[in-house]
């Protein structure tokens, strides 16, 4: 679809218009970077620069340079279900991040409520039984910029997500090698990144012991068949299939088995959601119970037509996109051209696993000239379907409303 490329790919002409404002600015940048992306955030600010300035990364939407927050340009998702490593989104909390890692010297500790504390090298891990798994990694606040009323935080469009084939070892195997003592209740994970302010809370996350030992949670040393980009957690990253990315600790160098619930800030105060259906509350509402954010919920997107695009009349309109079930597979993807009165089932692409993106395709027969609103919704294998109304919470977490695009048929 050329309509997609025309409308969502950053426009050089658009840049040149902006360029009149910045004449004489003493910066140089590659030609491809001469662009801004408009994320369509209600009320703005909506424009972001594309940047190629980050190591091992192609052009990315710049949300913040330090600590890095880089969004995947959405057209990337039209190219297939696996997100290329050099376009995979990046999000760090603290800016003290190693710029170099000596893979021969790197060690991950396994300690705490265990029989035999370990210090495992990458060679040790490479020699253990190996597993691989396709899984979506999605920021808790992906799409936060579309919340209304707007909420503070990283103002992401829909590109704070990606799907990769992760290769590594089972966390269970690593824990069994150390031997978990009876009475263990949780496992806590830390990486090489450090707070920039003294006494500030280090970014650490934990999982219940049963979850940590479920045989699916992994330590990954490869992503799409290559070592991880440094900014995505090289040399080792925790993979928590079906759960939000906050748990997927990067540059993982410490695994601590706990004999009491984790009360650390990043579990007890941050990344909490209302304990309500769809983590939904009314703006201004108080007094609700909260729980740590956890499993993901189903989503689906158009990838070959962008909102506000113009497409040619008089021909069938092919439609294509991606979907994921959250913490289980995709049962169905449906498209509506009549504001949800009727839904047409799309054809699902190859199944790369329950936690993966899945491509869908369908076709609309000769849409009439004029405005056309299309919606897409995913139903997962647990029977959950995306809601027609957006959820709201003050943190901007877990958006999964049915997506729509408004097209002009001309």
Partner 1 sequence: MTPTGKSVVGIGAFMLALGVLAGLDARPISAAEKSTVTANGVTLHSVSTKFPDPGRLFPGGSSADAINNNCLACHSIGMVLTQPKMSRAEWQAEVNKMRNTYKAPVADADVPAIVDYLANIAVGK
- Which residues in the 144-203 window bind partner 1 by CB under 8 A? 145, 150-152, 154-155, 167, 195-201
Question: Is 283 among the residues that bind partner 1 (CB under 8 A)?
Answer: no
The binding track of 294-333 with respect to partner 1, each residue x by CB under 8 A or -, is ----------------------------------------
Question: Is 288 among the residues that bind partner 1 (CB under 8 A)?
Answer: no
Chosen residue from 63, 143, 158, 304 binding partner 1 by CB under 8 A = 63
**Judged by CB under 8 A, which stretch of 39-47, 210-218, 239-247, 295-303 contacts partner 1?**
39-47
State the minimum distance, in angstroms, from the CB of residue 93 to partner 1: 9
State the minimum distance, in angstroms, from the CB of residue 331 to partner 1: 35
Q: How far is 159 from 366, CA to CA, in rounded Å?
A: 30
**Judged by CB under 8 A, which stretch of 36-44, 238-246, 330-338, 397-405 contacts partner 1?**
36-44
Pick between residue 99 and residue 210 the one whose CB is nearest to partner 1. Answer: 99
Q: How far is 58 from 283, CA to CA, in rounded Å?
A: 38
Among positions 248-267, residues that touch partner 1 (CB under 8 A) are: 265
Q: How far is 206 from 212, CA to CA, in rounded Å?
A: 9
Q: Any residues with CB less than 8 A from the CB of 338 and at least 6 apart, and which?
A: none
Q: Please tell me what DSSP assigns to residue 122.
A: H
Strands 252-258 and 107-112: parallel
Among positions 124-143, residues that touch partner 1 (CB under 8 A) are: 126-127, 130
Question: Is 284 among the residues that bind partner 1 (CB under 8 A)?
Answer: no
Residue in 146, 2, 159, 141 with CA at minimum distance from that of residue 74: 159
State the minimum distance, in angstroms, from the CB of residue 193 to partner 1: 12
Burial of 263 (0-12, 13-18, 19+ CB in 10 A): exposed
**Judged by CB under 8 A, which stretch of 73-81, 119-127, 256-264, 300-308 contacts partner 1?**
119-127
Q: How far is 137 from 131, CA to CA, in rounded Å?
A: 17
8 A C-beta contact, residue 51 and residue 62: yes
Chosen residue from 11, 121, 290, 362 binding partner 1 by CB under 8 A = 121
Among positions 66-105, residues that touch partner 1 (CB under 8 A) are: 66-69, 94-95, 97, 99-105
Query: What number of other Cβ atoms are within 10 A of residue 150's Cβ?
Result: 15
> In 123-225, where do the E strands start and end?
131-138, 161-170, 186-191, 204-208, 218-223
Chosen residue from 11, 14, 33, 80 binding partner 1 by CB under 8 A = 33
Q: Please tell me what DSSP assigns to residue 76.
A: G
Q: How far is 232 from 32, CA to CA, in rounded Å?
A: 23
Chosen residue from 37, 62, 240, 245 binding partner 1 by CB under 8 A = 62
C-alpha distance across the termini of the chain, in Å: 15
Q: How far is 383 from 149, CA to CA, in rounded Å?
A: 29
Among positions 198-237, residues that touch partner 1 (CB under 8 A) are: 198-201, 221-222, 227, 230, 234-235
């Amino acid at each position: 679809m050329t309509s997609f490329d025309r409308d969502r790919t950053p426009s050089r002409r658009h840049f040149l218009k902006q360029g009149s404002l910045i004449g004489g600015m003493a910066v140089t940048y590659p030609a491809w970077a001469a662009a801004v992306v408009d994320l369509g955030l209600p009320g703005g600010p909506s424009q972001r620069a594309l940047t190629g300035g980050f190591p091992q990364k192609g052009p990315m939407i710049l949300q913040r340079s330090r600590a890095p927050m880089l969004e995947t340009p959405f057209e990337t998702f039209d190219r297939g279900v696996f997100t290329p490593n050099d376009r995979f989104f990046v999000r760090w909390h603290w800016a003290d991040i190693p710029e170099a890692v000596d893979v021969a010297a790197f060690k991950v500790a396994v300690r705490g409520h265990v029989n035999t504390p370990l210090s495992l090298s990458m060679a040790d891990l490479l020699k253990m039984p190996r597993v691989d798994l396709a899984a979506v990694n999605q920021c808790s606040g992906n799409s936060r910029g579309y919340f209304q009323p707007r909420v503070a935080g990283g103002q992401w469009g829909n590109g704070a997500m990606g799907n990769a084939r992760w290769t590594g070892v089972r966390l269970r195997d690593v824990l069994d090698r150390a031997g978990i003592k009876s009475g263990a209740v949780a496992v806590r994970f830390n990486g090489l990144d450090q707070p920039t302010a003294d006494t500030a809370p280090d970014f650490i996350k934990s999982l219940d012991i049963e979850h940590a030992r479920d045989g699916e949670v992994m330590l990954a040393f490869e992503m799409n068949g290559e070592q991880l980009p440094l900014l995505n957690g090289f040399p080792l990253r925790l993979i928590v299939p079906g759960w939000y990315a906050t748990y997927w600790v990067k540059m993982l160098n410490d695994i601590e088995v706990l004999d009491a619930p984790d009360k650390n800030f990043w579990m007890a105060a941050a990344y909490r959601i209302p304990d309500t259906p769809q983590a939904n509350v009314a703006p201004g509402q108080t007094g609700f119970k909260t729980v740590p954010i956890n499993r993901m919920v189903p989503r689906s997107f158009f990838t070959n037509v962008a909102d506000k695009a113009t497409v040619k009349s008089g021909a069938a309109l092919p439609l294509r996109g991606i979907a994921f079930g959250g913490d289980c597979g995709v049962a169905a993807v449906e498209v509506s051209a009549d504001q949800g009165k009727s839904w047409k089932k799309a054809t699902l692409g190859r199944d790369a696993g329950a936690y993966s993106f899945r491509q869908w395709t369908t076709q609309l027969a000769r849409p009439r000239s004029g405005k056309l609103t299309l919606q897409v919704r995913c139903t997962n294998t647990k029977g959950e379907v995306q809601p027609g109304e957006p959820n709201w919470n003050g943190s901007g977490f877990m958006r999964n409303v049915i997506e729509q695009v408004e097209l002009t048929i001309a």
